[in-house]
Amino acid sequence: MKRTLTGLLGVAVWLSPQLASASEPPPERDHSLPGTKRTRYLESAPFDVVGGGSRKGDWAVELSGGTPWQRVRTQLGIGKGLTTLIEMDTVLGRRFRPAAGVGLRWIDRPHVRMSGELLLGWDWQLTPDRQRRGPNGELRMRLAFPVGRVAPYLVLATRHTLLMDRTTLETAAGPEVSWDARQAWIAWGSLGLVVAINEHVGLDFGIDFPWVDPPTPSIPGLHVGVLFGGWRAKR
């Protein structure tokens, strides 16, 4: 029994520094250095966009076009895995949604990135047969696997909008107006591949799977994007 306890204690002592080093976040990269051929793209701006999150002082921009969505997105790293987000997306010019939020990297390893994002915005739709608008919130998860110049990725999101319906009833005493609140829900996902042209510019090719007005399925879409950015060199 004594020998067994001694062996377990030795294993625990050996594992403790290994576990500590695995749980520590990776050190901030010195962007003033060029990096090696194997690592120069791992912290590139295109991979920061699809992997979610930028290192402190790094920024990136996404310009994406396709169907059903078109999007402009900017992000700026503020440290400790946090990134500020501002974006505008539209559906064929009929629905617009400006939003701002924050992202947090949960897993930050050389070849695995996982992050979560929370955005708050305003959703409005103007079409001949429907007009709606209201506050909007979205939760989003990003998972990317950077390898060399490419990064396959997956995005899953759930978007909720609070809509107020107004009903006007004409009575003998005059019009009576009543309001009813309801929620509109959109779930969507994307599968794609980013190709880094260099550390500052990349191309994004993806398939989108929207789910609008469940349970009716929606037609999948495609998008092509340009991702670019830079960084603040350390002095």
| Per-residue model confidence (pLDDT) at position 69 | 85
Contact indicator for 215, 182 with CB cutoff of 8 Å: no
| Per-residue model confidence (pLDDT) at position 138 | 97
List phi, psi (to 5°) of 52. 85, 120
Most confident range (mean pLDDT) of 64-68, 128-132, 190-194, 231-235 is: 190-194
pLDDT at residue 11 is higher than 80: no
pLDDT at residue 223 is higher than 60: yes
Cis peptide before 68 (omega within 30 of 0): yes
Set out the domains of the chain in order of their start, with CATH numbers.
Answer: 41-230 (2.40.160.20)
Q: Per-residue pLDDT tens for 134-178?
A: 899 999 999 999 998 999 999 999 999 888 766 677 777 777 776
pLDDT at residue 1 is higher than 90: no
| Per-residue model confidence (pLDDT) at position 37 | 58
